[in-house]
Chain A
Amino acid sequence: MKQFLEGSQAVAHCIKAVKPGVISAYPITPQTHIVEELAQMVANGELDSQFINVESEHSAASVVLGGSATGVRVFTATSSQGLLLMAEVIFNIAGMRLPVVLTCANRAISAPINIWNDQQDSISLRDAGWIQFYAESNQDVVDLHLMAYRIAEDNDVMLPVMVCMDGFALTHAVEVVDIPAAEQVKKFLPDYKAPYKLDIDNPITLGFLADPGCYMECRYAVQKTLRETLDLIPKVQAEFNAVFGRSAGGLVEEYMVKDAENVIVAMGSVCGTIKDVVDELRSKGKKVGLLKVITYRPFPEQAIYEALKNTGRVAVLDKSISLGAYGPLYTDLKGAFFARKKAPKAISGFVAGLGGRDITRETIKDIFKKLSGKQVNAEFMDLKPELLEEKA
């Protein structure tokens, strides 16, 4: 049903339809509205779920780990420092092959403290073994959560999924969103039946000690499964389409890329702005396009190669940075073209929008302009030189 909802509310409505048995979270802006809404639904008796208020994000992640290990569908949400506080558990959940779904309301990392949006938090945990999806719009957010559970709980996957939505830009934006009915959701997402769980009738040991004789195989198994989900995700995308009548998720989305000479690669809500700029420049006869990366982990190397192999110049826009190196998406994308037959003439890396700095249409146009100049690898956009000068 189409509803006029805040992004956070849309997540909560979607999660309600998904029916997790255990929900746990700790407050942090800009994630709070999601769990406040869910707490209210549980309090109202609209959602049959155990809602556990914990004393930290570390425990929130641990509670959903325990709930998932007991064979129950679970949900948690966090942002920024909260995600970093969970970090140890985040790695653990993936290593233990538990299909936890987490919403990350993307927010900048301290210091300095900043509550506004960039993607440094989730990007910093890209190596944890989780599948990571990045949403452009609130409809994307809803649809990606459904995809997330469907893929996480696939018995051939059994890995956690993080759905990343830009803080404020999406969490607090009110839009028309189609929230599918519970019956429809059930068609796409059957009840969760855990292939292994803590059960007194069938005792098993979870979280064992792995010595050098078997640790690497456990890590390899996660790597192998993640690489295999690159085939599964488009299939689930097609299933989603069949049930809900719209496309959602997938590895990447091409927007006027086929004949484009210059393409920007980006993730998240900024893709909406880029699409507007692409439309404007196209109307002036400029051959530009956008490649939206939806699935960042596993990294869709082949899909990106196929999309961009004939492109002239590529700009990668990161809303995060591996400090001392480059934007992480930029680095990954460069890797996708390493030792390949075809490749863009130039791949430049730009960092923009950190800590909630607006990425305007002008910023995007500027990036397209810069593509005809010198190749750069980590150029910060819209810096204020006056703030960088030391005052006497």
Chain B
Amino acid sequence: MSVETGVERHLFNPGHTACAGCGQSMAARLVIEAAGSNTIIANNTGCLEVFTTRYPETAWGVPWIHSLFENCAAVASGIEAALKYLGKKEGTNIIAQAGDGGTADIGLQALSGMLERGHDILYVCYDNEAYMNTGIQRSGLTPFGSNTTTSPSAESAFGNPRPKKPMPEIANAHGIPYVATSTSAFPQDIQRKVKKALSIKGPKYIQIHVPCPLGWRHSPSLTIPVAKLAVDTGLYPVIEYENGKLAAVRKIAPLPVEEYLKVQGRFKHILNNPEEIKKVQAIADNNIEKYGLKQ
């Protein structure tokens, strides 16, 4: 507690400019509070950077650096190398973090390099499923059918024509010790996985599903329920890989995908189209089968 202001100090402080109901801001706070004050963060360009560091304010209570859109994995690699050189690596966590565009698209090469080189860094991808900061454009992690400004639904298109890029599998294919997905729906799950990841030496990848009320077009009050529905329909499997093997999954009693789609404006256009819904259901079914999600 700060005597002068009466405001409690956090490692990720309130007062930033995120939208109401922002799943990413919740997840980012959970991540850094779990990691602790002995953490250095390298952040890609994106919503999180923009809404937390507008000069002369900063939301961050830990050393934090932003360089560019695609290079947090490489900047973090440099931080790790420098700490090793200084003999200060032990006892210091390094987190590289970015949104889905910064991770699955423009930053994929730098991320792959970081994973392949074996740096002792936790990479966190905040997956809100589009380039939200620049006006809701499609990214490689935008789900099938989603209506974005660059994958619009119109007379000859049903929104985004491709499924999500399999980022957790891509990360896992690098032979790294820990890969997990999590979601704003389960705060304790995020914190448990961050702590677990940081207890393991080497590169780690956690992808967190973070609802974006603006881009997904749901009420800010529904952030947590929407995130839960993504899990419960099988569209966002919550899983853990350890040393390349699927080690744990969050079991579900699968709900039909409509339950998830109907609470979001971005899928409104396919709700009256059974053929398109069938395709989304097939993606969920495939996840349920592939990861053994059924209770």
* A51-73 to B contact mask, C-beta < 8 Å, 1/0: 01111101100111111111110
A63 and B66 form a contact (CB under 8 A): no
Q: In the assembled complex, how far is the CB of residue A130 from the closest CB belonging to chain B, in whole angstroms?
A: 16
A54 and B63 form a contact (CB under 8 A): no
B117 and A62 form a contact (CB under 8 A): no
Chain B residues within 8 Å of A216, by CB: none
Q: In the assembled complex, how far is the CB of residue A243 from the closest CB belonging to chain B, in whole angstroms?
A: 26
A59 and B66 form a contact (CB under 8 A): no
B66 and A66 form a contact (CB under 8 A): no
* B53-80 to A contact mask, C-beta < 8 Å, 1/0: 1111010111111111011011111111
Give A56 to B70 CA distance when docked, in angstroms.
Answer: 12
> Is B42's CB within 8 Å of the partner chain A?
yes
A63 and B50 form a contact (CB under 8 A): no
Give A63 to B65 CA distance when docked, in angstroms.
Answer: 13
> Is B277's CB within 8 Å of the partner chain A?
no
Chain B residues within 8 Å of A53, by CB: 117
* B35-57 to A contact mask, C-beta < 8 Å, 1/0: 00111101100000110011110
Nearest B residue (CB) for A197: B63
Kindly specify which of B105-113, B156-164, B190-198, B285-293 makes contact with the partner chain.
B105-113
The winner among A53, A62, A71 for most chain B CB atoms within 10 A is: A62
Chain B residues within 8 Å of A202, by CB: 63
Give A207 to B71 CA distance when docked, in angstroms.
Answer: 13
> Is A41's CB within 8 Å of the partner chain B?
no
Q: In the assembled complex, how far is the CB of residue B104 from the closest CB belonging to chain A, in whole angstroms?
A: 17
For the complex of A and B, list the 3 residue pairs with the smallest distance between their C-beta atoms, beginning with the closest: A66-B78, A62-B74, A70-B82
A59 and B110 form a contact (CB under 8 A): yes
> Is A211's CB within 8 Å of the partner chain B?
yes
**Known contacts A89-B68, A211-B54; can you find 20 more A-B pairs with CB under 8 A?**
A22-B81, A24-B78, A50-B81, A58-B109, A58-B110, A62-B68, A65-B78, A66-B74, A69-B65, A69-B79, A70-B79, A70-B82, A70-B86, A198-B64, A200-B40, A200-B92, A203-B60, A204-B63, A206-B66, A208-B54
User: Can you offer 12 A-B residue contacts whose CB atoms are under 8 A?
Assistant: A53-B117, A56-B110, A59-B77, A62-B67, A65-B75, A66-B77, A198-B79, A199-B63, A205-B58, A208-B55, A211-B55, A214-B56
A203 and B64 form a contact (CB under 8 A): yes
A21 and B68 form a contact (CB under 8 A): no
Q: Indicate whether A198 sits within 8 Å of B65 (C-beta atoms), given known contacts A22-B81, A55-B110.
A: yes
Give A57 to B100 CA distance when docked, in angstroms.
Answer: 23
Q: Total interface residues on A, using CB and 8 Å?
A: 43
> Is B271's CB within 8 Å of the partner chain A?
no
Q: Indicate whether A64 sits within 8 Å of B78 (C-beta atoms), given known contacts A203-B64, A205-B64.
A: yes
A22 and B78 form a contact (CB under 8 A): yes
Q: Indicate whether A63 sits within 8 Å of B75 (C-beta atoms), given known contacts A50-B85, A54-B113, A56-B113.
A: yes
Give A49 to B83 CA distance when docked, in angstroms.
Answer: 11
A21 and B74 form a contact (CB under 8 A): no
**B79: contacting residue among A56, A67, A88, A209, CB under 8 A:** A67
Give A67 to B42 CA distance when docked, in angstroms.
Answer: 12
**A200: contacting residue among B39, B70, B81, B112, CB under 8 A:** B39
Chain A residues within 8 Å of B71, by CB: 58-59, 62, 65, 89
Give A333 to B215 CA distance when docked, in angstroms.
Answer: 52
Nearest B residue (CB) for A64: B78
Interface residues in B1-56 (C-beta closer than 8 Å to A): 37-40, 42-43, 49-50, 53-56
Q: In the assembled complex, how far is the CB of residue A75 from the closest CB belonging to chain B, in whole angstroms?
A: 12
> Is B169's CB within 8 Å of the partner chain A?
no
Give A92 to B66 CA distance when docked, in angstroms.
Answer: 10
> Is A1's CB within 8 Å of the partner chain B?
no
Nearest B residue (CB) for A23: B81
* A289-329 to B contact mask, C-beta < 8 Å, 1/0: 00000000000000000000000000000000000000000
The winner among A65, A88, A202, A208 for most chain B CB atoms within 10 A is: A208
Nearest B residue (CB) for A52: B81
Chain A residues within 8 Å of B61, by CB: 203
Nearest B residue (CB) for A69: B65
Chain B residues within 8 Å of A200, by CB: 37-40, 62-63, 92
Chain B residues within 8 Å of A74, by CB: 78, 82
The winner among A53, A54, A63, A203 for most chain B CB atoms within 10 A is: A63
> Is A96's CB within 8 Å of the partner chain B?
yes
Chain B residues within 8 Å of A71, by CB: 82, 86
> Is B245's CB within 8 Å of the partner chain A?
no
Give A381 to B106 CA distance when docked, in angstroms.
Answer: 42
Chain A residues within 8 Å of B40, by CB: 70, 198, 200
**B86: contacting residue among A21, A52, A206, A214, CB under 8 A:** A21
**A207: contacting residue among B56, B66, B112, B113, CB under 8 A:** B66
Nearest A residue (CB) for B66: A207
Give A70 to B86 CA distance when docked, in angstroms.
Answer: 9
Q: In the assembled complex, how far is the CB of residue B182 from the closest CB belonging to chain A, in whole angstroms?
A: 25
Give A50 to B77 CA distance when docked, in angstroms.
Answer: 11
Q: In the assembled complex, how far is the CB of residue A270 from the closest CB belonging to chain B, in whole angstroms?
A: 35
Chain B residues within 8 Å of A211, by CB: 54-55
> Is B259's CB within 8 Å of the partner chain A?
no
> Is A339's CB within 8 Å of the partner chain B?
no
Chain A residues within 8 Å of B85, by CB: 21-22, 48-50, 67, 72
B65 and A206 form a contact (CB under 8 A): yes
Nearest A residue (CB) for B119: A52
Nearest A residue (CB) for B91: A200
Chain B residues within 8 Å of A207, by CB: 43, 49, 53, 65-67
